[in-house]
Amino acid sequence: MEISFDKVGFWYQPGTPFAFQALKDVSLTIPSGQFTAVIGHTGSGKSTLIQHLNALLKPTTGRVLIGDRTIDAKTSNKHLKPLRKTVGIVFQFPENQLFEETVLKDIAFGPQNFGVTSQAATEMAQQAAKQVGLADELLTRSPFELSGGQMRRVAIAGVLALRPDVLVLDEPTAGLDPRGRRDVMTLVTKLQREQQMTIVLITHQMDDVARYAQNVVVMAKGAVVKQGTPQTVFSDANWLADHQLALPSAAEFAAQLSQHGFHFDPLPLTEEALVAQLAPQLPLKGGQHNE
Amino acid sequence: MAIISVSNLTYQYAQSEAPAVNDVTFDVEAGDWVAIVGHNGSGKSTLAKLLIGILAADSGTIDIAGTRLTEASVWDVRETIGMVFQNPDNQFVGATVADDVAFGMENRHVSRDVMIRRVKEALLQVGMWEFRDREPARLSGGQKQRVALAGVMAVAPKILILDEATSMLDPEGRSDILNTIKTLKQKLNLTVLSITHDIDEAAQADRILVIDDGRFIEEATPQALFEHGSDLIAMGLDVPFSAKLTELLAQRGVAVPAHYLDEGSLADWLWKSRLTK
Ligand SMILES: Nc1ncnc2c1ncn2[C@@H]1O[C@H](COP(=O)(O)OP(=O)(O)OP(=O)(O)O)[C@@H](O)[C@H]1O
Ligand SMILES: Nc1ncnc2c1ncn2[C@@H]1O[C@H](COP(=O)(O)OP(=O)(O)OP(=O)(O)O)[C@@H](O)[C@H]1O
Ligand SMILES: [Mg+2]
Ligand SMILES: [Mg+2]
C-alpha cells in the first residue's frame, strides 16, 4: 500500500508557548512493496514522521494519503482503527508498548483486537515469537520481567502477529545483540521480498541501509533533505560531509583507500561489493598474479 | 587497590529457573574503562543493578571503593556511582531538562552556584543546552539519552556505569559522546563500566568482560578479543569491519595476515601489498 505526504507540517503543542514545529513542508512517497530507510540525526523528526503513517499523529498542515484514505488536521479520530492493523508500528521504546500479563498474551493482543479468534491469535503469536527468536520458556513470563533485548523482541513480534501490509520499525535493532539484529533484518527483508510487505525502517546503521534498503529518506531539522537509492544518497560525499552524515563502513574504507592509489567505481556500499573490486587490485596467494 | 571488587556474586529472579548472575568474580582498577558484553538476556543489566544495590545478591560480595555493599551502606555507595539505565524514560525525575540534570547533585552537598555551573557544562557537553527548559518526556529518543548522560556527567561520580547508554545516538553523536566521556575519564580518573553491543564502543575499553548466561566466560583486551572473528557473534558482539573484510579477501585467494588487524593497520597492509603486485 502506497503512502504519501503532501506538504505536511506538524507542530507539537500548537498554540502554547512550547509550540514546536517538528515537520516542515514534507512531501514524499513511500512506494508500495519496497524497503524504505529513514535516516537523520537525533531530533531530526524521524519518529514524528513515521507516526503519521497510521494517523497516530495528524498533520497540522498538509495531508497524508494512506492507501485510499486522506488524513489531515480535521480528520476525526473515529474509524482510524483499521489503519492500525494495515500499518503496524514498532516504536522506539518497546517497553512502552507492552502491557499484558504474559508475553504470549501480549503478542496475541493485536490479532485478537482485530477480531481473530483467541486460538488463532495464540497460534499467530507463537509463530511471531519464533520469528524473532524468543525462547518458548519466556512466553509464559510477564513481559516486564525480561531483559531489554527480550522486550524489544516481544514488541516486534506483537506487530508482526498483526500481519500488517506496511511494517514500520523505529530503530528496532537498538539494544539487540548482533545475532538478533541480523535475524530481524533478514526476516524483514524476507517479508518484503516474498510477501511484498512495505517496509519503513528508521535506523542509524548505515551498513543496514546500504545492504537492505531500496529507498532512503534523509531528514534534517524536520525537513526531508534528500531522497533516493542508497547508491545516489551515499555517492555524494561532499553533501554527506556537509550534513555530518556517516557513510556505510565499506564506502568509508573505500574512500580512504582511494587516496592511496586504489580505484573504485561505483563506490562500494557493502563489504562484498568492496572486496569484489579490491581483490583484483591485490596480489594473490603464493605469488600468483591476478588478471 | 581495586575500586570495584566482586566476588562469587549470584542472583536469581524469584520466578526463574536459573540464576541471571551466576558466581561472578572480577575486579576493576580505578581509572579503568571496562566493557561488559554478552547476548540478550545474558545478565548484564542484572549485574549493573546489583552493583548499585537496586537488587540484593543471593550470595557473594561487592566492595565499592573499599566499602562493602550492604543494606546499611547502599546510600553511601550510590554516591560514588552514576548509572545510565538502558531505557532513559525510567530515569527522568525533573520537570525540565535542567532540573533533571540538577537532581543527581541535590543529595550530594553541592552548592547552588556549583550546581548551576555544572548543569550548564554537562548540557553543553552533550549538545542539549538549548533544550534546558523542555520536559524530558517530550524529547526524541537520542535527545533523551543525551540528557540521561548529562545527568551523570554533572555529578562526576567516581564510577560511571553505562547500560547501552548510546544505543540510540547517530554514529557521529555516539563518537562525540564517547570522546567526551574519555576526556572526563582522563581528567577525573573516572572508572567506566560500559555495557554495550556496539563494537566501536567496546573497542574504547581497556578490557572487555564477556558474560554468557550469567557467567563470565572470557576477559581480554579488545585487540585480543577481536581475534575471535566470527565467534564474536555468539558473545553478543559484532565482527569488526576489518575482520569481515579480511575474511572475504581470504575467500578470494588474497594472502591476508593471520592476525586481527584494526582498520588502520589493514589499510596500511593493503597499500603495501598493492605495491608488490
Ligand atoms: N511530545 C513532544 N512534544 C514536543 N516536542 C517533541 C515531542 N516529541 C519530540 N519532540 C521534538 O521534535 C523533534 C523531532 O523529534 P523526533 O522524535 O521525531 O526525532 P527523531 O528524528 O526520531 O530523533 P531520534 O533519532 O533521537 O529518535 C525533536 O526536536 C524533539 O525534541
Ligand atoms: N524482573 C525480572 N524478573 C524475572 N526475570 C528477569 C527480570 N529481569 C530480567 N530477567 C531475566 O534475567 C536474565 C538476565 O536479564 P538482563 O536484563 O540482566 O539481561 P541483559 O544481559 O541486560 O540483556 P539485554 O542485552 O537484552 O539487555 C534474562 O533471562 C531475563 O529474562
Ligand atoms: Mg526517534
Ligand atoms: Mg540489559
ipTM entry: 0.92
Decide if A41 and B171 are in contact by the 8 Å CB cutoff.
no
Residue B156 C-alpha, separation from nearest chain A C-alpha, in angstroms: 25
Q: CA of A138: which chain B residue's CA is closest?
A: B16
Q: Contact, A61 vs A9, CB < 8 A?
A: yes
Decide if B143 and A42 are in contact by the 8 Å CB cutoff.
yes
> Does the pLDDT value for residue A244 go beyond 90?
no
Q: What is the mean pLDDT of chain A?
A: 93
* Tens-place pLDDT, residues B188-212: 999 999 999 998 899 999 999 999 9
> Domain ranges in chain B?
2-89+158-237, 240-277
- Cis peptide before A266, with omega less than 30 degrees from 0? yes
User: Quick check: B140 contacting A, CB < 8 Å?
Assistant: yes
Task: Give residue A33's pLDDT.
Answer: 97
Q: CA of B277: which chain A residue's CA is closest?
A: A283
Task: Give residue B15's pLDDT.
Answer: 81
- Ligand 1: residues with CB < 6 A are A 12-13, 20, 22, 40, 42-48, 92; B 138-143, 168
Decide if A285 and B45 are in contact by the 8 Å CB cutoff.
no
Cα A195 to ligand 4 centroid, rounded to whole Å: 33
The dihedral region occupied by A287, where left means phi > 0, alpha psi between -120 and 50, and beta the remainder, is left
* Tens-place pLDDT, residues A190-231: 999 999 999 999 999 999 999 999 999 999 999 999 999 999
> Does the pLDDT value for residue A58 go beyond 50?
yes
Task: Give residue A263's pLDDT.
Answer: 94
- Which residues in chain B have their CB less than 8 angstroms from residue A149's CB? 39-41
For ligand 2, atom 29: residue with the closest CA: B41
> Does the pLDDT value for residue B1 go beyond 90?
no
> Does the pLDDT value for residue A279 go beyond 90?
yes
Q: What is the CA radius of gyration of chain A?
A: 21
* Tens-place pLDDT, residues A132-159: 999 999 999 999 999 999 999 999 999 9
Categorize the per-residue pLDDT at B142 as very low, low, confident or very high, splitting at 50, 70 and 90: very high
* Tens-place pLDDT, residues A245-256: 999 999 999 999
Assess whether A2 carries a catalytic annotation.
no
- Which residues in chain A have their CB less than 8 angstroms from residue B197's CB? 175-178, 181
Task: Give residue A142's pLDDT.
Answer: 94
CATH architecture group of domain B2-89+158-237 = 3-Layer(aba) Sandwich (3.40)
A-B contacts at Cβ under 8 angstroms: 154
What is this structure's pTM?
0.94
Q: What is the average pLDDT across A14-24?
A: 94
State the cell numbers at B263.
Answer: 582498520
Binning chain A into helix, strand and coil, the percentages to the nearest 5 are 40, 20, 40
Is CATH 3.40.50.300 the right assignment for the domain spanning A3-246? yes
Decide if A149 and B41 are in contact by the 8 Å CB cutoff.
yes
**Where, residue-wise, is CATH 3.40.50.300 in chain A?**
3-246
Decide if B277 and A96 are in contact by the 8 Å CB cutoff.
no
> Does the pLDDT value for residue B64 go beyond 90?
yes
Catalytic residue among A95, A171, A194, A291: A171
Which amino acid makes up residue A5? F
Choose which residue among B45, B52, B196, B213 to substitute to test ligand 2 binding: the one with the highest number of ligand atoms within 8 A of its C-beta. B45
The partner residue sitting opposite B277, judged by closest CB among A149, A272, A283, is A283
For ligand 2, atom 24: residue with the closest CA: B40
- Ligand 2: residues with CB < 6 A are A 145-150; B 13, 15-16, 20, 38, 40-46, 86
Q: CA of A93: which chain B residue's CA is closest?
A: B87
SS (H, E, C) chain B: CEEEEEEEEEECCCCCCCCCEEEEEEEEECCCEEEEECCCCCCHHHHHHHHCCCCCCCEEEEEECCEECCCCCHHHHHHCEEEECCCHHHCCCCCCHHHHHHHHHHCCCCCHHHHHHHHHHHHHHCCCHHHCCCCHHHCCHHHHHHHHHHHHHHHCCCEEEEECCCCCCCHHHHHHHHHHHHHHHHHHCCEEEEECCCHHHHHCCCEEEEEECCEEEEEECHHHHHCCHHHHHHHCCCCCHHHHHHHHHHHCCECCCCCCCCHHHHHHHHHHHHHCC
Task: Give residue A291's pLDDT.
Answer: 42
